[in-house]
Structure 1
Amino acid sequence: MSEQSPMALTMTLLLVDDEENILNSLRRVLRNEPYTVLTASSGDQALSLMEAQHIDLVISDARMPSMDGATLLAKIQQRWPECLRILLTGYADISTTIRAINDGQIYRYLSKPWDDDDLRLIIRQALAYQFSEQERQRLERLTLSQNLQLQELNADLENRVKARTAELQQVADMLDLAYSELRRSYATATEVFSSLLNQRLPPERQTNSRVVALVKAFAQRHQLNEALGRDLAMAAALYNLGKLTWKDHLFNSPADFLYKEERELYRRYPEVGEGLLMTLEPLQEAATLIRHHQERWNGSGFPDQLKENDIPYGARLLRLAVDFVELQQGMVLERKLGHDEALQLIQKYAGKLYDPQLCEQFVNLCTELALDTTLTDDTVFMLDTSHLKSGMILVRDLHAKNGTLLLSVGKELDARLIEKLINFEEAEGAKYTLYVRKPQAK
């Protein structure tokens, strides 16, 4: 955090020590730093200041009469957990330090005498961490709010997508700022973004959720490593992001019937999608899969005419899933193909368009999935909202009528959530069926 950071100007530090000369030394160290600095000579005085105003970070001496630093920081942690805590300790204060770590859950501890530059750096790092955590929480609230607001939007589609795209870019920028804290939740976040993307697409062209389900099933069946599975799921959720630049009539034109400028625009959508995602480091691998998911095994694909094993493995798999779904939706040929017809056509082009070995594995999986194994699992039940019970676990993603993701696989239902689903049904005039697994008897 630099002196120019506007965030730093709003930060308030509290220095606590019973020795005035120590407080004076700390004030001198922070004299040119852009913080509001308060001081207290005892634990009780520090708690009074905490009650009177917002404090972002407390630096406390370990040894103080009446209330030592470990006790003070433990009380602060209990009452103001968002406030960061740093302990100043001497070499003989190991027991106090351990207590502060265990009870006060301190951010760092520093030994006396401290190095001024180290102290300033640690304070900056602590406040930067606190700021990124606040941004993460704000981002989660914003994402949830946007997702709920999308249910209520019924304005003109073109105007709506412009507003949603601008908000999506803003969210992406904030995700980049806080990526280290949110890395584990990126896969779920991309499915939320996919729901936003669906607002731009006609209902019959909202293929993302089916493509995601296919690549997840393949990854699970063939035990792909976790990183590849996560990148595949994110790429499947956002593979058609580049189509946001299209005019409405292009969405209703099968790919094989596009000519000249329109065909060139179609061939660029994987590159456009990659470009929109490459600034987000945790999405870079997924972006690469999106770029190459229209390559062909024989080298006649686009955008880079890669062939055979030069095409990333995940991109080869994503191509199979996308083509299988889009063939059935009438997005490739003039007519929609049935499930079996689509598989037969894919098999026909194994070794030309598709990796022949991967194609065989994919066709086998789709053939088995056609049996809908969740319905033959006697632990899975298909229920409407009126029959749901607390503790049930969702085994399939639940989407709204417009394609927006409402609940993800693995979500445990409770009474409040069930009531919200029932109210949402009434508001939308819809009826939802959920696939759930009943809780195990204890």
Structure 2
Amino acid sequence: MEQPVMDDVADSACEKAVVLLVDDEASILNSLRRLLRGQPYDVLLAESGAQALELLEQQPVNLVISDARMPGMDGATLLAQVHQRFPGTLRILLTGYADMATITKAINDGQIHRYISKPWNDEEMLVTVRQALALQHSESERRRLEALTQAQNQQLKVLNASLEQRVAARTAELQQTADMLDLAYEELKHSYVTGTEVFSLLANLRLPKPKQTNRQVIELIRVYCTRHGLDEASRRDLTMAAALYNIGKMSWTDSMLTCPVDLLPHTERDLYRSYPKQSESLVMTLEPMKEAAQLILHHQERWDGSGFPDHLKGEAIPLGARWLKLAVDFIELQRGLVLERQMNSDEALMYIRKYAGKLYDPALVEDFVNVCAEFLSDVTLADPTVQALGTRDLAAGMVLVRNLNADNGMLLLNAGKVLSTALVEKLIAFEQMEGGKYSVFVRVPEGAVT
């Protein structure tokens, strides 16, 4: 943008100024021409005002120096004509008389640059001409640069408007791309959830069906997420953790996979305690599973700090990991993977209640019981009229709400049975004979005291 300006200045500097001398006396014209001969000007001569105007019509002239008194058209009249028709041409009046009327007319009508008296001083004349032409050149440059600045400003306005349009279009394009990437990323994360569930089902094929847990843990976690209105990210992390919490067990032997924890040999306890860390290490490199990996790592921590792998205590355990432990233990207790005896759902919840504040966050346990009651139709502990009693606490009129089985699996009484005194005594005797201890789930009649 700057180079054309420099070129114009150079061209202007190289052009010679044109000076027009007007006088009816040839001797005056010759004297002035000789004075200006060594200067960098092109000099034109005219012996009348009419001839001067003809020359001005033919070519541009920078400066007109006119005698005041000439026949036909005097100098003041000529310079007034020059001012009207060629306003860019500078005007100097040369007068040999103190004729104030002529000078006033030249100043008012011709707006002359200066007037010089005859006889003139050569040096003063040269200085006057140089200054006049320098002023003209300066003014010309000012106008040219002003016009150039206006043109450039207009061009900048056009460019700015175009730039704003391009920026707006590019911004919209980038936003659309970002939205598409966000959508693709969300789809990818959703695909990870689906993929983890499918993989967990495949991994579970190593276990006999009665020992499979992941599907039930996932469904229980989903009920919890819905009940508590968890956001999409938390729901996704918990679901993926539920799907792959035990993936670290897949390197175990078949016998170890199906063995209850309390029956594991001492030599296998360390391997068991390493499975959360092993599970976490298998999934932590996957970006969408980083948060889920942390829940997997800490789902066997205990509220009292006795868990593993890091012995976290209380609220230092991530909330999602505390909930995952409740869900995992609830399902695994019923599959016989924690204790030798498989529990029913109510017995598993009784176990969890018993160890609230030791293994589990006590503030979460009753909420978990209610979620399980919503998840499973056979959970009765959420009903305040249902109690789990020992045989010696039973009374006539109580109604069995769950089947009662002996330790060997034999059905003793069906759900719905109304207990009588005789039946209670038989249950006590059978328990003594078997050497066991039964928890009997009954609905206590209104007003009864237990």
TM-score under structure 2 length normalisation: 0.44
Higher relative contact order (CA 8 A, sep 6+): 1
TM-score under structure 1 length normalisation: 0.44
Higher Rg: 2
